[in-house]
């Protein structure tokens, strides 16, 4: 429906929708499924069940597709005023801020483990009794390739503190291989994405499609290299989710980032298809691409932090 304020500006007010609650439900199912699957991987006796995760992910994708299509149709029909478009921009900015806080939590965990909990377990500072009572003979260093459990002789020789068996990795992941290549790929993709934005503002559609296509190639190549890195970690380095806190923090940080890269690449793919197939976007009406580019630059910045604090320092 439409509304008017003082006879000056007519704007479109979307009808009541169930899409928001449906999306929230699908995300909840996805997260619950991931938690159940990871718990079964770590402590279960059989194969992990990922059914809930895939159902939640499917619902998430379908609902987003329906919601975004509805928004695109409304905008193409001229229903969106400048005020409503500004609210979309604010919404995307708040969403990216929430993602900043999301990753800040995991970086905080990494900081706590490396600078507080780990040294305490190793007997540093005023926490000497923690080492003597719980994990005698454990000497903390990072990356942690010997877990406290291994240091005391295994599960049978430790004070009961968990029900899992944690064996440190054979080797830590080197920054000079795939991580360095992925850093170059992602930083380059940020540059090509910017060039695409400049081309769109200059109304050069062919250049926009070319630069955005290159961005997608670089982004999906990053994901492929990260999948190969995980294969190497599990099969040759002994670095798994059961490899103590080093394995847990490594896969949580890089895994969530990889998921966000996939999300960003899919968002940009939709914008590329909209431009090449539908002829969407003009120099003055391009929020779909602009919001996706903001998100892409965000995941690039997060990767720089990961490269420094997970791989190098």
pLDDT digits (tens, 9 = 90+) for 22-46: 999 999 999 999 888 888 877 766 6
pLDDT over 90 at 202, yes or no: yes
pLDDT over 80 at 135, yes or no: no
Cis peptide before 83 (omega within 30 of 0): no
Identify the domain containing residue 224 by its residue range: 86-312
pLDDT over 60 at 2, yes or no: no
Are both 95 and 74 inside the same structural domain? no
pLDDT over 70 at 246, yes or no: yes
Of 35-44, 181-190, 195-204, 256-265, minimum mean pLDDT range: 35-44
Which tens digits make up the pLDDT trace of 148-178?
A: 777 777 666 666 656 667 777 888 888 888 9
Note the pTM of the prediction, 2 decimals.
0.83
- 92's CB contacts (< 8 A; 6+ apart) are 291, 294, 295
CA–CA separation, 261 and 307 (whole Å): 15
Instruction: Assess contact for 212 and 196: CB atoms under 8 A.
Output: yes
The token pair that represents 27 in the structure block: 């995300």
CA–CA separation, 215 and 187 (whole Å): 10
**What value does the mean pLDDT take over residues 246-268?**
92
pLDDT over 70 at 10, yes or no: no
Angle between helices 178-201 and 205-232 (to 10 degrees): 160
Of 80, 98, 116, which closes a domain? 80
pLDDT over 60 at 8, yes or no: no
The token pair that represents 266 in the structure block: 């899919």
CA–CA separation, 97 and 39 (whole Å): 29
What is the pLDDT at residue 204? 94
Are both 148 and 205 inside the same structural domain? yes
Are both 66 and 92 inside the same structural domain? no
What is the pLDDT at residue 87? 85
Which tens digits make up the pLDDT trace of 107-126?
A: 999 999 998 888 888 777 66
What is the pLDDT at residue 45? 63
Give pairs for 223-230: CB < 8 Å, separation 24+. Answer: 223/258, 223/261, 223/262, 223/265, 225/178, 225/181, 225/182, 225/185, 226/178, 226/182, 226/254, 226/258, 226/261, 228/178, 229/173, 229/178, 229/179, 229/182
**For residue 141, what pLDDT band results from cuts at 50, 70 and 90?**
confident
What is the pLDDT at residue 157? 65
Are both 95 and 69 inside the same structural domain? no
Q: Which residue has the higher pLDDT, 92 or 6?
A: 92
Are both 134 and 42 inside the same structural domain? no
Are both 99 and 243 inside the same structural domain? yes
pLDDT over 60 at 63, yes or no: yes
CATH number at residue 43: 1.10.287.70
Report the domain count for the chain.
Answer: 2
**What value does the mean pLDDT take over residues 176-202?**
94
């Amino acid at each position: 429906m439409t509304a008017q304020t003082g006879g000056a500006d007519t704007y479109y007010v979307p009808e009541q929708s169930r899409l928001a609650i449906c999306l929230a439900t699908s995300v909840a199912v996805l997260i619950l499924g991931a938690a159940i699957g990871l718990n079964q991987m770590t402590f279960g006796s059989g194969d992990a069940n990922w059914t809930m995760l895939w159902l939640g992910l499917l619902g998430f994708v379908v609902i987003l597709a329906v919601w975004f299509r509805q928004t695109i149709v409304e905008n193409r029909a001229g229903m969106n005023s400048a005020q409503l478009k500004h609210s979309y921009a604010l919404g995307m900015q708040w969403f990216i801020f929430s993602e900043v806080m999301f990753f800040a939590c995991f970086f905080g965990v990494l900081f706590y483990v490396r600078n507080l909990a780990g040294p305490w377990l190793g007997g540093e500072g005023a926490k000497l009794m923690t080492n003597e009572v719980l994990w005698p003979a454990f000497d903390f260093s990072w990356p942690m390739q010997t877990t406290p459990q291994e240091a005391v002789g295994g599960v049978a020789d430790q004070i009961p503190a968990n029900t899992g068996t944690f064996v440190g990795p054979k080797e830590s992941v080197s920054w000079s291989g795939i991580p360095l290549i992925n850093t170059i790929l992602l930083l380059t993709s940020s540059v090509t994405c910017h060039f695409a934005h400049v081309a769109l503002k200059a109304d050069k559609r062919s250049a926009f499609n070319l630069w955005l296509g290159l961005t997608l190639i670089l982004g999906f190549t990053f994901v492929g290299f990260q999948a190969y890195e995980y294969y190497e970690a599990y099969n040759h380095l002994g670095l798994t989710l059961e490899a103590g806190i080093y394995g847990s923090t490594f896969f949580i940080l890089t895994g969530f980032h990889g998921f966000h890269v996939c999300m960003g690449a899919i968002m940009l793919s939709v914008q590329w298809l909209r431009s090449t197939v539908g002829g969407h976007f003009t120099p003055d009406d391009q929020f779909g691409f602009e919001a996706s580019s903001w998100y892409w630059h965000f995941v690039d910045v997060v990767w720089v932090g990961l490269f420094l604090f997970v791989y190098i320092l």
